[in-house]
Amino acid sequence: MCDKKILCIGLVCLDIINVVEKYPEEDTDSSFVLDDFQKYSIDVSLLSEHAQCSFPASVVISNVTSGSRTILHMNSYIVSDFSKRGVDISGVAWQQQGETPCACCVVCPGSGSRTVVLSDTNLPDATAGDFSKVDLSQYKWIHWEGRNAGEQVKMIQQVALYNSLLPEQQKITVSVEIEKTREPLYQLFCQGDVVFVSKDVAMHFGFSSAQTALRGLYSRVKEGAVLICAWAEKGADAMGPDRVVVHSDAFPPKALVDTLGAGDTFNAAVIFTLSNGGSLQEALTFGCQVAGSKCGVHGYDGIV
């Protein structure tokens, strides 16, 4: 029997990453450090990276538009990158309107700064209607990047209904990520079997460490769930139903090159481990190891 897949629901954004020695002065010309001055990456490329190595396959329900010529060019890059990395995109909810989001990032390894200018995104998010077309029997795990939370709750309810008819070992595991400090996203806390909460959200709630955040926020998750909080160079912590805090230190690279996408990389490596039966401690440690390697290179190639 072929292994079931991991489905990811979120948004694909094209990052154009310019690496500079020194942050440019306004109104001057300067050169990029990298030969191919633009390094592209995609927010979900971390999943494709893992798909290539060990994920059986991942499907991304993303929103990619098929509009103007420039956008088509961006999309063909995105689609070919997914294909190169073995990500199954057959479930993509293609949009007829809106533009593919794009972020221009200036990364300055000397100072460690990363400045991001995001083009306004008017691309509709995937809906519960899009999701109802998905054949759930293909998946063992579905991950939601918290965005249009109200609609995402309806999708998760569809999974709960599907799960209610299945024996325990065949149920789909639901994970959600609450990364942005937006009130509507907090309704997702009680929706996941595994919930990733960001340092930003934890700090917004007044917590100054991952451990205190887990203790303070655990009452928001549903019974039996795991809450996970990564804290940059301090590593990451997690708490399960036994309320014991599990911790992994970070694995700093020899030189800190580029932390853009470290959090997404961490999430992917944790999901990968847990979905293959690994323990919470193994998942956190592997998450921090892979995210640490990511911080030592530009982009995502070769981090696993």
Interface residues with ligand ADP (CB under 6 A)? 198-199, 230, 232-233, 235-236, 250, 252, 256, 259, 262-263, 266, 288, 291-292, 295
- Closest CB 281 distance from ligand ADP, rounded Å: 14
Distance CA 228, CA 210 (A): 8
Our CB check for ligand ADP shows the closer of 12 and 71 to be: 12
Distance CA 227, CA 240 (A): 7
Beta strand ranges found along 62-151 (DSSP E): 63-65, 93-95, 102-108, 113-118, 139-145
286, 246 contact by CB (below 8 A): no
Supply φ then ψ for residue 183, to 5 degrees: -45, -45
Our CB check for ligand ADP shows the closer of 128 and 232 to be: 232
Our CB check for ligand ADP shows the closer of 93 and 284 to be: 284
- Closest CB 218 distance from ligand ADP, rounded Å: 18
Diameter over CA atoms, the chain: 63
Our CB check for ligand ADP shows the closer of 5 and 143 to be: 143
Report helix, strand or coil for 2. coil
Count of CA atoms in the C-beta half-sphere (13 A) of 86: 12
- Closest CB 89 distance from ligand ADP, rounded Å: 24
Q: Which residue number is nearest to ligand ADP in terms of Cβ?
A: 263
Query: Packing angle between helix 45-53 and helix 262-275, nearest 10 degrees?
Result: 40
- Closest CB 188 distance from ligand ADP, rounded Å: 17
- Closest CB 1 distance from ligand ADP, rounded Å: 34
Position 45, amino acid: S
Our CB check for ligand ADP shows the closer of 3 and 233 to be: 233
